[in-house]
Structure 1
Amino acid sequence: MCGIAGALAKEGTIDYEGFKKMLELMVHRGPDDEGMFYSNIVALGNRRLSILDPTPNGKQPMARGDLVLVLNGEIYNYRELREELRQIGYSFNSDTDTEVLLTAILEWGLENALKKIIGMYAFLFYNKSKGILCGARDRFGIKPLLYARQGNAVYFASEIKAFKAIMELKPNARRIAQYLSFNRPKTNETFFEGVFSVPPASYFCTDGGDLGFKRYWYLNTQERDWRIQDAVTEWKRAFEDSVRLHLRTDVPLAFALSGGVDSSSLLAFTKKLLDEGLKERGFTEDSLKVFTVSVDDEDIDESKYAKDIAKSLGLEKNLEVIKVSSSNISMDELKKMIYYLEEPPEGPSSILHWLMMEGVKKSSKDLKVLINGQGGDELLAGYHAYIPIYLREVIAKRGILRAMEEAWKLRSYIMDKFTLGLKVMLGFRKRVSTGILNDEVLSLIDSEQGEKIVSLNDALMKDLTGGRLLEILRTEDRSSMAFSIEIRVPYVNHVLAELSLSMPAELKIREGYTKWIHRKASAGMLPRDILWNRRKIGFQAPEKKWLFGLRDLFSSLMRDSYLVKTGILKKEAAKKLADDVIKGNVSRDYARLFWRILFAELWMRVYFGEADLSLPLYARLSKPN
């Protein structure tokens, strides 16, 4: 895991000092080492967080033949690929995945190498003989890679803040408007004008001109006929293999544990592998750390369940509880979080994740790797929102009576968030949010053209390949790397995604349970009352309670709102928002809107506090064609 940067000039030269400053702005991503390759028209740089082969042999940039490469992330199957390359005749000077990736590209070419690797990654390499810069990003966009043009050069970096070294950052009014109106378009735009994300599952090669992105992977949604027992056996094998690959490390490792089935089964499969003799250089069962978060709201606090899970696995001594409450949240802490996140987050669970990472780092200063259960809901239909889609599919395939039977079995999920789900589906929250924005800003928003969702697998494919998961992965990457910790997500694995979508809906939602196939595959490894519990809390912050605790801060921000000054938010709307929070007149259903206003306001202040506010933001950006 690292922070990387690159640049290629079509004409002229790359500013050496400016490029070096880009790396300095990402020192938190890689405090262990720094490396640069510079040759007038091209530059590659790396801030290293040493995880695999932490010796000088793993220093980046790394060169072989005509290629010079920098890598951020992990190639989890590097040992298997290294053995395959050794059989061809290659030798290796390190025990790193970086050297394996570099050699794989030399031997098989970029696209073929990408099809072979399993991992989370973003990388850049320069071909000295051809004078071209190439790069790629992993299939799901777990690891970031951004780009911007300045003069006659194109620049790349792991974080947006790095571009401050070579250009003035400006706010993107369209993305702010989309965010505040709960639009989630598929876009490579960021909240900063002229800064874009390299699309997931894509690669490029450039001489400094057009990047010409090409996709190297599409998620296959072709269903197969499965016998139930065969499906359970294959899922268990594939999931265990994903866990095994994600445990590869030469440094200490820990787990984030909630009370849910995703994180608990990750820990259970890890315990099984360790009991069967798995050995990694970075940790043992005794040194393995497990962290859980306790929030100041008994209704959503899962720490009590996490304690039961750890005890059932014989890991209660490994567990540490990080207590989080509204007293941990200050103006300075929120500003610090927003600076590192770079873009406003989805909701206040980002604060929970930030404070957890802060607590983990305080507890274990040498810890560099944390595994969590992110992606399990998108992979296995865990969210409440999937249930209406599933029932609609049941109606189409088996009729209304069967759908009514299924709905009754799923009633606990349906009733849990029925009111909120109905309001979101009918567009109530979106209408309220658009009502507080100036008309000129609303005109910048593209009309949403939603993808046609016919089946549950259609919905899973949409969420796995963009949208909410991509935003969550971005937030988790930034907040963990702010503390120099790598987050690993074994559920976000293309092998598992393809396997899940090859299975029909009734293997994912069955007998009144979501994630049925995964629960079945985990049988015997966790207590039944944990494995088959229908309770669905998730990594959730007490949104309304925390918002009320910040009422004075929210009110003061709205009285002197940058969003109002820049023409985004209506002045009278800001006043009403402040009054509602002070009076506690915020329902659970609409608390998320207030949080987004708060995050957007703080983001404006953190990144543009000294900016000229005389020109409304909407005047800086024309309406899209």
Structure 2
Amino acid sequence: MCGITGMIQPDHSKDYWTDTLNRMALTMSHRGPDDDGIWFDAASGIGLAHRRLSIIDLSEGGHQPMTSHSGRYVIVFNGEIFNFNDLRKSLHPEKIEWQGNSDTEVMLAAFDTWGVENAVKQFIGMFAFALWDKQKQRLYLCRDRLGIKPLYFSRIPNGLLFGSELKPIMKHPDFNPRIDRDALALFFRHSNIPAPYSIFQNTWKLLPGTLLCVSLEELPKNSWNPQPEAYWSALDVAKAGQKNTISICFQEAVEQLDFLLRDAVRLRMISDVPLGAFLSGGVDSSTIVALMQAQSTRKVKTFSIGFHETGYNEAGFAKNVARHLGTDHTELYVSPEDAQQVIPELPSLFDEPFSDSSQIPTYLLSKLTREHVTVCLSGDGGDEIFGGYNRHFLWESIWNVIKWIPVPARTAFARMFQSVPPDAWDSLIYKLISVLPEKFRLDTPGDRIYKLLDSITAKTPELMYRGFISHWKNPESIVIGGQEPFTRITDNHHDLHFQNFTHKMMALDLITYLPDDILTKVDRASMGVSLETRVPILDHRVVEFAWSLPLEMKVKNRQGKRILREVLYKYVPKALIERPKTGFAIPLDTWLRGPLRDWAESLLDKQQMEEQGLLNPGPIHRKWAEHLSGRQNRQHEIWDVLMFQEWKRQYNI
């Protein structure tokens, strides 16, 4: 795993190219502390730069930028091609004079042999790359199928910039960091800025599964409009799977999934450096660790963190699973002070505003893990493709009940029950469910009730879903001059016709929440400490198989991930796993009323906001007052504002 950057910009000296590329690359030293390199062709106006975290082929044979054997292509590449050994064998190796054992060299040979578009379809992996075609004078930018690895690009006068992060783009002398108010409005709804948008004007994220071809002839035109082309579409896979559901019995499906996941894990255990896994004790991470241990002659190194606060600690569950599987387990209990010390680092980690507060424990877990290994496997993706979120197995049933009730009646009902503070709901419900088996107990039930009550006033199930995943329900009321653009959730041009609403929610989560939130969080948090994270569940073969299954194999009897659980039960007793799903959370609501209050109020200062001219302080201060009073838990809305304000302060924008 590495960091890549570069630019297209004609009419500059060699000194300019050398200095600018090196300065841009240096901003990503955390992504690649082991090696660096640049390549440029001043006559063509193209330059590439690379920072390397050595994982496969630790020798100079893996140095980038790298030129293909034919001399036609030059590449900078971030990520891993896990099937590179199989590809190497299929490329007539007797005809190629291999210089090393890296996957990068295999990629270039594949481009030489099959062409860019055809080669990309053969890759099993996580990747973002920039490829210069000397013959056609074209630059290709490409991102992996699910969006595991990031890639930004930005239009500048008479040129183009790109990078794994925004930092190298911001370092370019011609980049103008103008905040995009429309994108900012999206941030306040989603806690992230969905692709293809970014916080800056004329700057975009490349969508997952797409390839952008940039011609030097077209770029100087003021009317140039980037048009990435999809080589693989998660949405198309989901729709095709539902139209052509495979005919297979449940037990056969379990065996097939076990086989696919085993192979996905096996490929991702290939490494020339120490390797381990995150372990929370939940279904996803436990499945990955179980399959790792089943294919390893050594004890797998596993890592977890815990909090002492009740309701926020999964460390005990992880320890039980680790003990059963016989892993070499390391856990760390984090104090509030430890977590709070991370906050000043968040803006530099995430480049642009990002406010999923689980970013804090994810970073702390990555930091712990990096002290022991360089590569780590993660269980991310299981919820999105196997129906693991509560909304996937509850919401369709709820909608089928409430849709017959007039919206005004639903609204009155919601307001009546919202008059009871969340902590009062917590106290009442904890007493009621204390006699139930542990798997039926919920964490923070008051917040869940409030979220549901907010959503049941919607006129359609789609609006109910959108309301549930929104932080600020009307972000245009707080972003001055901001107007939310279309996203892949709101764009009516998308053909999102599914057999049922549950599959529709899962598909939307797969193409939005997964890449824009979950994978962004994991990439920035792990690469911030130079840790490579791999996600076997998001092997595209697993994703395609999961979507070909009928819904009842994934969601049944108000429980999600049915088939994935059955795979796990082959390795871990059911009793160790069955418990309510919990997020990777911190007690942020109480921290904001306590140790973080002074910091928060310094960023929420009314005069400061008015001088900035970006945010309307009125609605923000009302939410803050509600939160401080304890009448409502407004941690998500307030954290959105705080993360934006801290980002703006640190970057001085």
Matched, 1:540 2:562: no
Quote how far apart the aligned CAs of 1:334 are.
1.7
Question: Residue 126 of structure 2: SS of its match in structure 1?
Answer: strand
Structure 1: tracts of 5 or more residues without a match: 276-284, 396-408, 612-625
Deviations 1:516-546 (A, max 9, x none): 1111122230022024x04211322223123
Match of 1:483 in 2: 529
Q: Do 2:181 and 2:479's aligned partners in 1 also have CA atoms closer than 8 Å?
A: no
Which whole-Å CA distance do the structure 1 matches of 2:610 and 2:378 have between them?
A: 39
Which whole-Å CA distance do the structure 1 matches of 2:135 and 2:362 have between them?
A: 45
Q: Decide whether aligned partners of structure 1 residues 28 and 112 sit closer, same or farther in structure 2, where only a CA change above 3 A counts.
A: same
Question: Residue 144 of structure 1: SS of its match in structure 2?
Answer: coil
TM-score computed with the length of structure 2 as normaliser: 0.82
Q: Decide whether aligned partners of structure 1 residues 446 and 502 sit closer, same or farther in structure 2, where only a CA change above 3 A counts.
A: closer
Match of 2:67 in 1: 63
Matched, 1:132 2:132: no
Q: Which moved more, 1:114-123 or 1:160-169?
A: 160-169
Question: Residue 491 of structure 1: SS of its match in structure 2?
Answer: helix
The 5 Å alignment of 1:512-523 reads 512-523=558-569
Question: Residue 598 of structure 1: SS of its match in structure 2?
Answer: helix
160, 168, 175: which one aligns with 2:176: 168
Q: Do 1:60 and 1:69's aligned partners in 2 also have CA atoms closer than 8 Å?
A: yes
Quote how far apart the aligned CAs of 1:135 are.
2.2
Which whole-Å CA distance do the structure 1 matches of 2:393 and 2:91 have between them?
A: 46
Question: Residue 441 of structure 1: SS of its match in structure 2?
Answer: coil
Which whole-Å CA distance do the structure 1 matches of 2:141 and 2:505 have between them?
A: 29
Question: Residue 274 of structure 1: SS of its match in structure 2?
Answer: coil
47, 52, 58: which one aligns with 2:56: 52
Which whole-Å CA distance do the structure 2 matches of 1:43 and 1:439 have between them?
A: 37
Question: Residue 536 of structure 2: SS of its match in structure 1?
Answer: coil
Question: Residue 27 of structure 1: SS of its match in structure 2?
Answer: coil
Question: Residue 466 of structure 1: SS of its match in structure 2?
Answer: helix
Which whole-Å CA distance do the structure 1 matches of 2:598 and 2:38 have between them?
A: 47
292, 295, 299: which one aligns with 2:307: 295
Which whole-Å CA distance do the structure 1 matches of 2:444 and 2:50 have between them?
A: 50
Q: Decide whether aligned partners of structure 1 residues 218 and 87 sit closer, same or farther in structure 2, where only a CA change above 3 A counts.
A: same
Which whole-Å CA distance do the structure 2 matches of 1:557 and 1:269 have between them?
A: 46
Matched, 1:325 2:335: yes
Match of 1:621 in 2: none
The 5 Å alignment of 1:393-432 reads 417-426=448-457
Provide the aligned C-alpha RMSD in A.
2.9
Q: Do 2:10 and 2:46's aligned partners in 1 also have CA atoms closer than 8 Å?
A: no
The one-letter amino acid of 1:289's match is K
Quote how far apart the aligned CAs of 1:557 are.
1.8
Q: Do 1:261 and 1:530's aligned partners in 2 also have CA atoms closer than 8 Å?
A: no
The 5 Å alignment of 1:266-281 reads 266-275=288-297
Deviations 1:294-321 (A, max 9, x none): 0132222010111101110112xx2111
Match of 1:120 in 2: 126
Question: Residue 26 of structure 1: SS of its match in structure 2?
Answer: coil
Matched, 1:351 2:353: no
Q: Which moved more, 1:23-32 or 1:160-169?
A: 160-169
Q: Do 1:300 and 1:540's aligned partners in 2 also have CA atoms closer than 8 Å?
A: yes
The one-letter amino acid of 2:253's match is A
Quote how far apart the aligned CAs of 1:360 are.
3.0
Q: Do 1:177 and 1:441's aligned partners in 2 also have CA atoms closer than 8 Å?
A: no
Q: Which moved more, 1:380-389 or 1:261-270?
A: 380-389
489, 494, 508: which one aligns with 1:462: 508
Matched, 1:197 2:205: yes
Deviations 1:317-349 (A, max 9, x none): x2111222321244x632322112112224211
Which whole-Å CA distance do the structure 1 matches of 2:443 and 2:369 have between them?
A: 35
The 5 Å alignment of 1:207-222 reads 207-208=215-216, 209=219, 210=224, 211-219=226-234, 220-221=237-238, 222=241
Quote how far apart the aligned CAs of 1:28 are.
1.0
Question: Residue 359 of structure 1: SS of its match in structure 2?
Answer: helix
Match of 2:23 in 1: 21
Deviations 1:246-268 (A, max 9, x none): 11110011211102011011111
Matched, 1:234 2:256: yes
TM-score computed with the length of structure 1 as normaliser: 0.86
Matched, 1:568 2:570: no
The one-letter amino acid of 2:56's match is L
Q: Do 1:161 and 1:342's aligned partners in 2 also have CA atoms closer than 8 Å?
A: yes
Deviations 1:260-299 (A, max 9, x none): 0110111111111115xxxxxxxxx24x421101013222
Q: Do 1:436 and 1:573's aligned partners in 2 also have CA atoms closer than 8 Å?
A: no
Q: Decide whether aligned partners of structure 1 residues 335 and 172 sit closer, same or farther in structure 2, where only a CA change above 3 A counts.
A: farther
Match of 1:510 in 2: 556
Q: Do 2:127 and 2:148's aligned partners in 1 also have CA atoms closer than 8 Å?
A: yes
Deviations 1:381-418 (A, max 9, x none): 000011245548999xxxxxxxxxxxxx9976899534
Match of 2:5 in 1: 5
The one-letter amino acid of 2:587's match is P
550, 553, 557: which one aligns with 2:603: 557
Question: Residue 481 of structure 2: SS of its match in structure 1?
Answer: helix
Q: Do 2:130 and 2:141's aligned partners in 1 also have CA atoms closer than 8 Å?
A: yes
Matched, 1:600 2:644: yes
Which whole-Å CA distance do the structure 2 matches of 1:436 and 1:263 have between them?
A: 38
Which whole-Å CA distance do the structure 2 matches of 1:71 and 1:442 have between them?
A: 35
Which whole-Å CA distance do the structure 2 matches of 1:261 and 1:502 have between them?
A: 21
Which whole-Å CA distance do the structure 1 matches of 2:252 and 2:584 have between them?
A: 32
Matched, 1:43 2:53: no
Q: Do 1:243 and 1:270's aligned partners in 2 also have CA atoms closer than 8 Å?
A: yes
Which whole-Å CA distance do the structure 1 matches of 2:601 and 2:625 have between them?
A: 7
Q: Decide whether aligned partners of structure 1 residues 561 and 259 sit closer, same or farther in structure 2, where only a CA change above 3 A counts.
A: farther
Q: Which moved more, 1:490-499 or 1:537-546?
A: 537-546
Question: Residue 77 of structure 2: SS of its match in structure 1?
Answer: strand
Question: Residue 163 of structure 1: SS of its match in structure 2?
Answer: helix
Which whole-Å CA distance do the structure 2 matches of 1:93 and 1:439 have between them?
A: 54
Question: Residue 242 of structure 1: SS of its match in structure 2?
Answer: helix
The one-letter amino acid of 2:642's match is L
Which whole-Å CA distance do the structure 2 matches of 1:297 and 1:436 have between them?
A: 36
State the aligned residue count: 578
Deviations 1:14-63 (A, max 9, x none): 84122221101111110100111111011111100000011111111111
84, 90, 97: which one aligns with 2:90: 84
Q: Which moved more, 1:599-608 or 1:386-395?
A: 386-395
Structure 2: tracts of 5 or more residues without a match: 402-436, 459-466
Which whole-Å CA distance do the structure 1 matches of 2:145 and 2:96 have between them?
A: 27
374, 384, 387: which one aligns with 1:378: 384
Which whole-Å CA distance do the structure 2 matches of 1:485 and 1:413 have between them?
A: 33
Q: Decide whether aligned partners of structure 1 residues 527 and 72 sit closer, same or farther in structure 2, where only a CA change above 3 A counts.
A: same
Question: Residue 29 of structure 1: SS of its match in structure 2?
Answer: coil
Q: Decide whether aligned partners of structure 1 residues 148 and 544 sit closer, same or farther in structure 2, where only a CA change above 3 A counts.
A: same
Which whole-Å CA distance do the structure 2 matches of 1:180 and 1:139 have between them?
A: 27
Quote how far apart the aligned CAs of 1:511 are.
4.2
